[in-house]
Amino acid sequence: MQAQHKRPLGRTPLELTTMSFGATIIGNFMRPISDTTAVELVDQAWDLGLRTFDTAPLYGHGLSELRLGRALQGRARADYVLSTKAGRVLTPADPATIDAGLWKDPAPLAAAFDYSYDGVMRSVEDSLKRLLTDHLDIVYMHDVDRYTHGGNQPEMFRQAVDEGFPALVKLRDEGVVSAIGFGVNEADVCLAAIKETDPDCVLLAGRYTLLEQEPLDDLLPTCESRGIGVVLGGVYNSGILATGPREGAKFNYGPAPEDVMDRAGRIEAICQRYDVPLPAAALQFAAAHSAVTSICLGSRTPEQQQNSADFLELRIPGQLWQDLRADGLLRADAPIPAGSD
């Protein structure tokens, strides 16, 4: 398994590298990074052979798209796959008035949800400008889930499906976008979306990991049977599968609960038995399912990004996976990496 290896995205003609560059960090996620570091990360990703880059208007309120667009300038547009998202519209605003959430020192743009037809059209047009490109390879309808909207989720979901998605279909028909889908945080919402529409792909954040394997029940088989490509984000569950169950470990962007800490500890103990880093097992497990085209990773430093690429190439003994199954930590129907001893 190699980071730069290309895989087909479902039934589309697009091919994505096994490891995608997730541009959350260069949007100043959790804490700021410099313009110089942002460019270094994109340049290093390119040198590692990564040719798939994912961003969103939300990330730094346009800052991620701006930085990514600039960093990719000078490279042949046909040589890489570029994805972004729709569902929020950005407007100029006084930085002191912006609710930036997890984004530190964002661009001076306020973000507002808009899943309407016109809102999606405007979102994509604005993204094209920030990314300095005339077309987008993939656009995902973003965050139509309960994690984002709470009690308003049914209403937002309905508008996205009935109004916003037809806008994406039109943009695809016009050649502005090559593939369309949904980018969400919950497997059941993702399943509902693909049952009501005909997307080319989905980006599922954090729900198919060593700690969460429920998408094996229905979402992944449905995607595979319909030729819907799957990109996975959050395969470290926002931290604990990268750091292990250490003090302060994060799970889904909050403190990891005790049962999660315990399960992660049991997984890590088996990995240590075979001298395999926990994040290497987490990455390779997520990438092993035949429905999965790419895993999208955001790295804060060049060292982290290099480690992730190296972890994908690490040879993992097949007995490690069998031990995980024997201990009830890996489902019997969960695919494991091809070529495991």
Q: What is the pLDDT of residues 45-54, one digit of tens each?
A: 999 999 999 9
- Rounded to whole angstroms, the Cα distance separating 298 from 54 reads 9
- Rounded to whole angstroms, the Cα distance separating 231 from 257 reads 26
Active site annotation includes 195? no
How far apart, in Å, do the first and last CA atoms of the chain sit? 14
Q: Is the pLDDT of residue 65 over 60?
A: yes
Closest residue by Cα to residue 198 from 232, 233, 161: 161
Instruction: Give strand pairing partners of 229.
Output: 201
Q: What is the DSSP string of 146-207?
A: HHHHGGGHHHHHHHIIIIIHHHHHHHHHTTSEEEEEEEES-HHHHHHHHHHS--SEEEEESS
pLDDT, tens digit, 9 for 90 and up, residues 118-176: 999 999 999 999 999 999 999 999 999 999 999 999 999 999 999 999 999 999 999 99
CB neighbours (10 Å) of residue 215?
Answer: 23
Query: What pLDDT score does 7 carry?
Result: 98
Active site annotation includes 275? no
- Range in 128-132, 218-222, 252-256 the model is least confident about: 252-256
- Rounded to whole angstroms, the Cα distance separating 263 from 329 reads 8
Query: What pLDDT score does 215 carry?
Result: 97
Closest residue by Cα to residue 235 from 190, 205, 280: 205
Query: What pLDDT score does 161 carry?
Result: 98
259's CB contacts (< 8 A; 6+ apart) are none
Query: What pLDDT score does 19 carry?
Result: 98
How does residue 339 score in pLDDT terms, banded at 50, 70 and 90?
low
CA atoms within 13 Å, Cβ hemisphere of 24: 15
Active site annotation includes 54? yes
Q: Is the pLDDT of residue 341 over 80?
A: no
Out of 6, 43, 85, 118, the active site residue is: 85
Task: Write the DSSP symbol of residue 263.
Answer: H
CB neighbours (10 Å) of residue 311?
Answer: 23
Task: Write the DSSP symbol of residue 109.
Answer: E
In the chain, DSSP assigns E strands to 6-8, 15-17, 19-22, 52-54, 81-86, 88-92, 109-113, 136-142, 177-184, 201-205, 229-233, 250-251, 254-255, 292-297
Closest residue by Cα to residue 19 from 40, 37, 2: 2
Closest residue by Cα to residue 307 from 270, 274, 282, 339: 282
Out of 6, 35, 43, 54, the active site residue is: 54
- Rounded to whole angstroms, the Cα distance separating 78 from 56 reads 20
- Rounded to whole angstroms, the Cα distance separating 317 from 322 reads 9
Exposed, middle or buried, 145 (CB in 10 Å: 0-12/13-18/19+)?
A: buried
Q: Taking a C-beta distance cutoff of 8 angstroms, is the pair 22, 233 a contact? A: yes
Out of 35, 47, 59, 173, the active site residue is: 59
